[in-house]
């Protein structure tokens, strides 16, 4: 491959993103690829410092715009310090949540202005758009049940604790993004058994990588947006 490949995983709570990312990383490493697994909010020292402020709910009283800006600050650091250098080295980057989580959690269920969200996204992502986004789709009731079982006696975080109707809006918003951007997004049913989900993910990844390789062979001088 001429350069790395950037894959993001998105979806509601309890969709099994980390399990699927781990399995995909194993499969790609078996094929001899160099893989970096990372996550948001976090993934770089600067962004990890902001993570706790967001997930503890410490920023919640200051409103969704404050939270959106903090997610954006964390993302900008993560992109410039970790993701872009890895992609330039030819690494396959697997990121647990990225820009679509901000679009959905802050933009849609935080009711923020689309123009504000678009500007924030443009400056933070700074051209580093995912080559592929896997949306793990799950009924929020089932997802919250799974997330609760995994968490045990710990309290739900700032975003997980919201009402079922908020989680339903988020699910619809992720599916809407997938419909609007079919070249970038693939929806995988996360209620299937984990091995079946993993097979669906791997199939989508292989297809997207093969397409990118065909495109770069056709346009060797193409510069990425």
**Binding residues vs ligand TYD (CB under 6 A):** 13, 17, 39-41, 55, 71, 96-97, 101-102, 105-106, 157, 159-160
Residue 63 buriedness (CB in 10 A; 0-12 / 13-18 / 19+): exposed
Give the nearest distance from C-beta 80 to ligand TYD in angstroms.
16
Closest to ligand TYD by CB, 98 or 209: 98
User: Which of residues 97 and 171 has its CB atom nearest to ligand TYD in the complex?
Assistant: 97
CB of 71 to ligand TYD, least distance (A): 4
Beta strands in 12-146, from DSSP E residues, in sequence order: 35-39, 92-96, 132-137
What's the closest the beta carbon of residue 102 comes to ligand TYD, in angstroms? 4
Minimum CB distance to ligand TYD, residue 204 (Å) = 19
DSSP-assigned letters across all residues of 4-17: -EEEEEEESTTS-H
Query: Which 3 state secondary structure label does DSSP give 165?
Result: helix
Position of tokens 């091995």?
195
- 184 vs 131: CA distance, rounded Å: 6
**88 CB neighbour count, 10 Å cutoff:** 10
The greatest distance separating any two alpha carbons of the chain, rounded to the nearest whole angstrom, comes to 54
Residue whose CB is less far from ligand TYD, 164 or 207: 164
Q: Which is nearer to ligand TYD, 39 or 171 (CB)?
A: 39
d(CA 152, CA 92): 33
Based on CB atoms, which residue is closest to ligand TYD, 159 or 174? 159
Euclidean distance between CA atoms 169 and 108, whole angstroms:
8
Q: Minimal distance in Å, beta carbon 10 to ligand TYD?
A: 9
Smallest gap, in angstroms, from Cβ of residue 215 to ligand TYD? Answer: 28
Which residue number, 44 or 101, has a Cβ lying nearer to ligand TYD? 101
């Amino acid at each position: 491959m001429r350069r790395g490949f950037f894959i993001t995983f998105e979806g509601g709570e309890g969709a099994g993103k980390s399990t699927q990312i781990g399995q995909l990383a194993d499969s790609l490493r078996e094929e001899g690829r160099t893989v970096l697994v990372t996550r948001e909010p976090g993934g770089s020292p600067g962004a990890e410092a902001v993570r706790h402020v967001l997930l503890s709910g410490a920023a919640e009283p200051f409103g969704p715009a404050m939270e959106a800006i903090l997610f954006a600050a964390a993302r900008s650091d993560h992109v410039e310090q970790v993701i872009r250098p890895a992609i330039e080295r030819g690494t396959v980057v697997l990121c647990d949540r990225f820009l679509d989580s901000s679009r959905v959690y802050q933009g849609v269920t935080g009711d923020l202005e689309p123009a504000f969200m678009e500007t924030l996204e443009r400056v933070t992502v700074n051209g580093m758009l995912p080559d592929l986004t896997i949306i793990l789709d799950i009924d929020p009731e089932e997802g919250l049940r799974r997330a609760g079982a995994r968490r045990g006696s710990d309290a739900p975080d700032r975003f997980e604790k919201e009402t079922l109707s908020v989680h339903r809006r988020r699910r619809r918003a992720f599916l809407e993004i997938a419909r609007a951007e079919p070249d970038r997004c693939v929806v995988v049913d996360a209620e299937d058994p984990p091995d079946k989900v993993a097979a669906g993910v791997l199939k989508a990844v292989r297809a997207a990588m093969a397409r990118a390789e065909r495109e770069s062979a056709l346009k060797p001088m193409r510069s990425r947006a």
